Every structure is written in C-alpha cells, then in structure tokens.
Amino acid sequence: MIPLPPPKPEILARRDAIIAALRTLVPGEGVIGDETRLKPYETDGLSAYRQPPLAVVLPTTTEQVAAVMRYCHGNGIRVVPRGAGTSLSGGALPLADAVVIGLMRMNRILEIDFDDRLAVVEAGVTNLGITKAVEHEGFFYAPDPSSQLACMIGGNVNMNSGGAHCLKYGVTANNLLGLKLVTPEGEIVEVGGDHLDTAGYDWLGLMTGSEGMLGIVTEVTVRILRGPEGARAMLAAFKGTEIAGAAVDAIIGSGIIPVALEFMDKPCIHACEAFAHAGYPLDAEAMLIIEVEGSVAEQDFLLARIKEICARFDPISLKVATSAEESMAIWKGRKGAFGAVGRISPDYLCMDGTIPTGELPFVLKRIGEMSTQYGLQVANVFHAGDGNLHPLIMFDANNPASFRAAEDFGADILKLCVEVGGCLTGEHGVGVEKRDLMHVQFQPHELAQQRAIKTAFDPAWLLNPHKVFPLEALPQ
Amino acid sequence: MNAPDTEAGIVDAVLAAREPLAIEGNGSKRGLLRPVQAAETLSTRNLSGITLYKPTEMVLSARAGTPLPEIEATLAERGQMLAPEPPDTHALFGVRQPATIGGIVATNLSGPRRINAGSIRDHLLGIRFVNGRGEVVRSGGRVLKNVTGLDLCKLLAGSHGTLGVLTEITMKVLPATEATATLKVAVPDIATGIRALSAGLTSPYGITGAALLPMGPTALLRLEDFAESVTYRAARLREDLARFGEVSMVEAPESRLLWRSIRDADPINGGPDHAIWRLSIRPSAAPALVAALQEAFAARLLLDWGGGLVWVAGPATEEAHQAVLAATIAARGSYTLFRAPEPLRAAVAVIPPEAPALAAIAARVKAALDPAGLFNPGRMRAGQ
C-alpha cells in the first residue's frame, strides 16, 4: 500500500472549530462534518485506497472557494479538491487532516457561443453535460474520457483527460481557452481567456494536468467543435499482435488519421465477446477497431483505403460497418471492455502507460510473460494511434497477497513502458497510485525542478500535498 | 557570442555565467518583444540535427538549433508536416537566417492552420532544457499522450528563453494533406466577412484556414484533405457561403502561395519603420476592434484564425501603441508588439501586464527555474 503523510495532530484537535468556521464561509448545507456523510468522500475510482477527510465543503461560487482557501491557508490546513471522484489514480483521495473542496454544486453553464465556438462552464459541469448542451446545433466537446457521463470538467482540466478520440481531436489541454481559478493563497485569477494563444507564460497549459496541486479551477472556457457529417467503424482481426501493429503503422504511414484506432488483445477480445456478443473473431490474436468521419462518400472512400491496407496483412476478418447500427455493434464490445473484464474478475486494476507504438508487440509479449510470473490474468486495450496502453490486471481483493501482486505487476508494466521510451501515465494521471514510481521516469533533480514550481504556487504545500511527488521531499 | 555545439557546452556556459545572457537560436526573431539587457549571447545555433524521426509514430526530435527549413524538408520527403504551420518571419524582421525549431517553440508561433490543428505548443511532445542552475531537465517525452508530472513543455513554450535554454525538441508531426483549395468570398464589410468565416468554421467540413483581407474585403476559407474530400466539401461550402457574397475558387498552386503570404503576414508588411502588432481576440470582437484601430491611425490589417488573430501595422509611436492596447482591452484579448524600432520596444509594455496575484507567482516560477536571473532579462516585461 502507498503511504499517506501523517496528519497534523493540532489540526485534528481543532476539528470542531474548523468546521464551525467553514460553516460561516459556506452557509446552508455546504459543509459536511459528520462521519456517515463523509463516507462517500473517502475514496474515488481507485477504491483500494480509502481515507475520510476532516470535512467536506461544497461551495456554490468562486468567491466561496476563495474564502475557504484563504481560511485554510491562514490556518495551515491542507486542502484536497474533488470533482466527481472518478479518478483512477487516486487524484481525489483525501487526507485525515484535509478539507475536501467538492466542486459538484458549481454546475452551471454560463455561456455558449456557437459563432465563436466556445462555452464557459463551471468546474462541476460534467464532460458529457457540455456536449449535451451544444449538440442540438451539431456541436460537441471533443475529449471523451470513458467516465464522461460522470466526470467533471474541473477534474478533466486537472488531469488533462484524454479519451478514445484524441488521435484526431487532442486531449483536454488542446481544447481549452481559459480558466478561472483560486490560488492556494485564496486569490481569484483568470488565465487564458476567450481567445486563442495569450501572450506571456502559459499558465493555462501549466495548470492543465497539474492534478489539483497548483490551484482550484472554478470556471473553464472550452472550445466546442462542429461535429462531422457522420462516422463509421470497421473491424480488422489478425493472427498476431506484430501483424496488427504493422497494419497500424501502414494506416498511419498512408496519411490517414482515423478518428479512433483501438487495439484489443486476445484475452480482451474473449472477455468482450462473452459479455457483449459483438461478433468478435475468437481465433484472432489481435483486433483493431478503426473509425473514420465525414460524409457517407468520404467514409466509404476512407474505409475502402484502410480495408485495402489491412488486406495486405493476411487478416482473419475484415468487417466494414454499412450503417450506424453496425458501427455501434462493432463498438459495443470495446465500450463494454471494463465491464466485461469485471465479469471475469470483480477486481481489476486499470493501468495507463504510454509506449512508442512500434514497441507494442514487444511490450505485449513481456506483459504476457509477467502475467505468467505473477499468476494474474491480464487483458489489454490500447489506443493504438497514440500509444496509450490500458492493461487490466485481474486480482482478488479479498486476498491481500493478490492485491499486492497486482500492484507489483502494474508497477512492472509501467517501468517497462518507461524503459521502451514511453511514460508512466497517458491520461489517468499520477495521483497517489504512481507517485512512488516517478523516480523511474525522472531523475532527482528533475523532480526537484517540478517540486520547485509547485512551491512557487503553493509555498506551504497545503494543496493536495500527497499526490504526484514521492513523499520523502514533502516539506514538514 | 558563445555558440556551443553540445548540450554539455550549454551547461558549461550557464555554470560559468556571472552576468545575464541573451538566449537565442539563430537570432532571426531578435527584434521580437523587448530588447534584452545582456552583455553576452548564448546561442543554440550550433546544436543542430534531427535526432529521431519515426514517421509511423508521428514523432520527430531535433536539437534546438536545427533550422526549421531542414526539418520541414525532412518531413516533406515522407509526406508529413508540422501541422501548426509556423510563420517564416525573416521578411518581417528583415533578416536572412532561418528560424530554428528551438526559437519556434520558445516563441510559440503558429500559422493559419492553428485554428484547426492547434498551436506549436499543442504539438510539442517533449523538451530538454538547461535551467539556471546548469541542470539538464527533461519534460514530456516522445509519445503522443503523456500526463506524467507537471507539463514544463507548455511552460517553456512561448516563454521566450526566459526560463531555460532549450536544447532538444520533440514534436508530433502529421501527414501532409493530399489536396487543397481555397474559397474566396467577396464580402461587403468586415462584419459580414467574420460571419462568413464563422459559417465555414461551424460547418462540418474541417476548414484549416480562415482569413480576412480588409482590402476588398475578401474572406478566404481553406480546405485540405484527400482530393475526393476537398472536391466534395468545396462544392457544399460554395453553396453555403453564397449568402455572404460572390464565391470563387482558388486552385491548389495559387492557394498555397496565398496561405504562405497570410502565414508570414506579408500583406501588412510595410517599411521597417512601421510597428507591427499581433492580437489574439474572440472572433466576434473583430469588427469593433478593426473599426477602433482604423479610426485611431492608418492601420494596415490582416485577420486570420476566423478573425481571432489580427495583424496590425501602423506608425511606431506610443500613441498608436496605446490605441492598440485600448482596442485589445475593449475586446478582452491579448496583444504582442511584434516588431518595432528599438526605442518603442524598450519604452512600452510589449505584452499585457500580469494581474498582481499572477505576477507574484510568475516571479517565483522564474526564480524556481532561473534563480540568478541569467536568461533574457527584460525580454517579455521590464524588470522580469
């Protein structure tokens, strides 16, 4: 288990006084102090880790957030920001002596402008909520993490969330214009704006993916895009992972950037097929789902080109959807992949490394060997265009040895990702989960440099101090 | 000038420095922003060469001093490109030497395709740089998706060499488009022109360039894709845009030249005694901003990014600068005094001032990277 910093006894001792003070800052139902109502806030998507906070505050305005931050800063109280709590890396995991600031009640859409192609929303608006608010005009908000029904834009900004379609549309950082945020000292500032490229240091870029360590995001100005005329998927199954990898290279090499290019290995194909009956070929070692966009004629043309490329790699099966329904059927298994694995094993860890795409066959072979070595099953889904690998490691949560083995297995996979030229996390963030692996990717002076920037924003290290960086350097 | 040919040489130069250093690549954009107060120049121009290129992984790494034309030629051989289309500013600054990839990242300059494909910083995957303590620091990497740790790539991009000396750059590269065409709409006024650009950009046809030439005025919308798509989309757009004015087609060869000149802001480049500003605003704010500027002085204007990027040329005076500043503030936008004779650049705020709370953080961030204040002092703001 990954350790948390010890709580400050003097803060725990002042618990009642702190809650009373918070109630004056956020009136009404905005402060939670009793144990049973704190329970839902003790964990997030990384549910193996649990720690109830000192208190939870649910502000409704940026000014309230600033007041709470000023109070906590003045009193040396740690703060943990929280959106929907869907982080898979423990990004919202509290501390016993910390106040959780939950942004879920700040859920208003403040402005939508189709001509300027932007929307201004509060941090607690869900990712899908933005798309829902603009889709009647044919628009959408592009980043689509698989938790998009629940996850909130404030959390997306802090984790720089990705999704299945970032090969074409980029990640959160590429779809933002501006932020309103509260600094660790409680000042309200705006970075970026309602235009592209702001002169000066790129605070917007630095804040994005900063995992709640530099400030509390309260408002977000996002770019909204007009959707394509249509989209259609095809499925291609191959006899080997290397062959499928070569087909991916050939597609990209031909100049086509599909809007999605998903890779599933054999265990994943089997799990999804058993769950969703999507008609996936069970004799395949690897399968690709490829999606293109455009008018029907454009889809036809692109899919024909891709089919022709795939045909050169001796496929077991090539299936091009001829309708939206057939596309949905092809996606059905992939979209249910996590649920499908959950049916085989109720407990699994979803890993999130990135590798140079050319290393995929080698990495899958090594993961297979590790799976035997640890005695744990693993299924792999992979955003093949951008190299983001999601191994799902299955374990038994009732058996502490099995959980430890799963964590060790996961760590070994991430070390392998770094070894072949990739990184520890492509879209889930470091959080608590990968905090102690940061030295695998960064040298001590590089971590010190990043920490110095955290210190520049938060000299007292009160904001989310237990995430991203190994604890030994945490200022006492 | 000290121009080491290894990263270790850059480290030695930084460790040996007792006085502030002017940091540059080829110095092709030395005239951008404020003049630097430094006795010595440290250049990355001899740190040259592509170090990694994997077309199927869409990634290219090069030492910071590699000339941009060399990178673009290497990419073109494999049918790829730097999608943000960085401008070639040598005519604007009246210099001969080409830009380096390090300089393009340090200034975060993107061309017309930025509206569709994102900026240089959006395509920046990884960097190596030397900080003020003489340490080589890496951020990002060579993979397309990476959220490991704080994103120092974004912080260093557009920081104009004030936070570290970039030594190696890794970029995402994309397939070059097979075909291109431009639709030209003769619009009655600026406001209608902006609406025509918005109509294109809110269509499902993936417009990759949306500019407005105030002479005419003429709205220009670029399509780039496979030939079949360009033909189909041009026909559809032509119908959609007819309500804004007469639509004509510019075919590929002429279209390429046209967008190159827009990319490099050729249409507004008068004599070197003129000042040039580059403004970033919300597109719908453009008509009022243009009117205000035209009233203030004899402004030459070029609008790109659907009206969100405004190039302005005018007299190199503080009065003109104040007028640009006032118009930009009214539009809630951002401005850069892009080129001006040195006295003006030294006298005025060449980019907007930072709010006090952010200025305090900026000073601490600068100190965290460059504690002795060695790199490009005064480049972005006086005393910073």
CATH number of the domain residue B138 falls in? 3.30.465.10
pLDDT for the residue A36? 95
Contact: A449, B361; criterion CB under 8 Å: no
- Summarised one tens digit per residue, pLDDT across range A314-368 is 999 999 999 989 999 999 888 888 888 888 888 999 999 999 998 998 999 999 9
- Computed over every residue of chain B, the mean pLDDT equals 96
Domain spanning A345-437: CATH 3.30.70.2740: yes
Q: Round to whole Å and give the CA distance between A99 and A95.
A: 8
* Chain A neighbors of B141, CB-CB under 8 A: 354, 421-423
Nearest CA in chain A to B128: A446
Q: Would residue B108 count as lying in a domain?
A: yes
Alpha carbon of B145: minimum distance to chain A alpha carbons (Å): 5
CB contact burial A149-164 (16+ within 10 A = b; e otherwise): ebbbbbbbbbbbbbbb
Q: Would residue B86 count as lying in a domain?
A: yes
Model confidence at B245, in pLDDT bands (50, 70, 90)? very high
SS3 assignment, position A245: helix
Indicate the range of A100-109, A379-388, B8-17, B48-57 predicted with least confidence.
Answer: A379-388
Interface test with B, best of A69, A89, A113, A116 (most B CBs within 10 A): A116
CB contact burial B14-41 (16+ within 10 A = b; e otherwise): beebeebbbbbbbbbbbbbbbebebeee
Nearest to B282 among A116, A210, A456 (CB): A116
Report domain A231-338's class.
Answer: alpha beta
Alpha carbon of A458: minimum distance to chain B alpha carbons (Å): 9
Question: Do both B121 and B234 map to the same domain?
Answer: no
Domain boundary residue, one of B217, B245, B263: B263
Question: Do both B17 and B148 map to the same domain?
Answer: yes
Question: Do both B301 and B281 map to the same domain?
Answer: yes
Residue extent(s) of CATH 3.30.465.10 domains in chain A? 109-226
Q: How many residues does chain A have?
A: 476
Omega into B217 within 30° of 0, i.e. cis?
yes
CATH number of A109-226: 3.30.465.10
CATH number of the domain to which B319 belongs: 3.30.70.2030
Residue extent(s) of CATH 3.30.70.2740 domains in chain A? 345-437
Domain count for chain B: 3
Alpha carbon of A361: minimum distance to chain B alpha carbons (Å): 14
pLDDT for the residue A146? 87
pLDDT for the residue A322? 93
Contact: B151, A195; criterion CB under 8 Å: no
Residue extent(s) of CATH 3.30.70.3450 domains in chain A? 231-338
pLDDT for the residue A473? 73
Residues of chain A with pLDDT under 70: 475-476
Is the CB of residue B147 less than 8 Å from the CB of residue A427? yes
Contact: B280, A197; criterion CB under 8 Å: yes
Q: Round to whole Å and give the CA distance between A329 and A261.
A: 16
pLDDT for the residue B36? 94
Q: Would residue B359 count as lying in a domain?
A: no
CB contact burial A137-147 (16+ within 10 A = b; e otherwise): eebbbbbbbbb
Contact: A298, B232; criterion CB under 8 Å: yes
Interface test with A, best of B108, B114, B144, B152 (most A CBs within 10 A): B144
Question: Do both B281 and B250 map to the same domain?
Answer: no
- Summarised one tens digit per residue, pLDDT across range B99-135 is 999 999 999 999 999 999 999 999 999 999 999 999 9
Nearest CA in chain A to B357: A187
Contact: A195, B195; criterion CB under 8 Å: no
Q: Give, in order, the Cα–Cα distances in Å from A160 to each of A465, B147, B353.
A: 19, 7, 27
Q: What is the ipTM of this complex?
A: 0.97
Residue A36 burial (10 A CB sphere; 0-12, 13-18, 19+): exposed
In this predicted structure, the answer to whether residue B39 has a pLDDT above a threshold of 80 is yes
pLDDT for the residue B270? 82
Q: Would residue B122 count as lying in a domain?
A: yes
- Summarised one tens digit per residue, pLDDT across range B268-284 is 988 888 999 999 999 99
Q: Would residue B362 count as lying in a domain?
A: no
Q: Would residue B247 count as lying in a domain?
A: yes
Question: Do both B23 and B136 map to the same domain?
Answer: yes
Q: Would residue B148 count as lying in a domain?
A: yes
Domain boundary residue, one of B263, B282, B316: B263
* Chain B neighbors of A426, CB-CB under 8 A: 143, 145-147
3-state SS string over A336-376?
CHHHHHHHHCCEEEECCEECCHHHHHHHHHHHHHHHHHHCC
Contact: A425, B332; criterion CB under 8 Å: no
Contact: A298, B157; criterion CB under 8 Å: no
pLDDT for the residue A205? 98
* Chain A neighbors of B152, CB-CB under 8 A: 206, 449-450, 453
Question: Do both B53 and B163 map to the same domain?
Answer: yes
Residues spanned by the domain of B77: 7-175
Is the CB of residue A283 less than 8 Å from the CB of residue A317? no
Question: Do both B112 and B131 map to the same domain?
Answer: yes
Nearest to B365 among A252, A294, A456 (CB): A456
Question: Do both B120 and B26 map to the same domain?
Answer: yes
Model confidence at B346, in pLDDT bands (50, 70, 90)? very high
CATH number of A9-105: 3.30.43.10
Question: Do both B169 and B185 map to the same domain?
Answer: no
Q: Would residue B353 count as lying in a domain?
A: no
Q: Amino acid letter at A340?
A: A
pLDDT for the residue B282? 97
Question: Do both B211 and B308 map to the same domain?
Answer: no
Interface test with A, best of B130, B145, B177 (most A CBs within 10 A): B145
Contact: B204, A229; criterion CB under 8 Å: yes
* Chain B neighbors of A173, CB-CB under 8 A: 122, 151, 154
Question: Do both B110 and B191 map to the same domain?
Answer: no
Domain boundary residue, one of B175, B190, B206: B175
pLDDT for the residue A476? 61
* Chain A neighbors of B175, CB-CB under 8 A: 252, 254-257
* Kind of pairing between the strands at B209-213 and A55-57: unpaired
- Summarised one tens digit per residue, pLDDT across range B134-162 is 999 999 999 999 999 999 999 999 999 99
Question: Do both B193 and B70 map to the same domain?
Answer: no
CATH number of the domain to which B185 belongs: 3.30.70.2190
Tokens of A33: 């102090």
Residue contacts between A and B (CB atoms, under 8 Å)? 253
Q: Round to whole Å and give the CA distance between A350 and A407.
A: 10
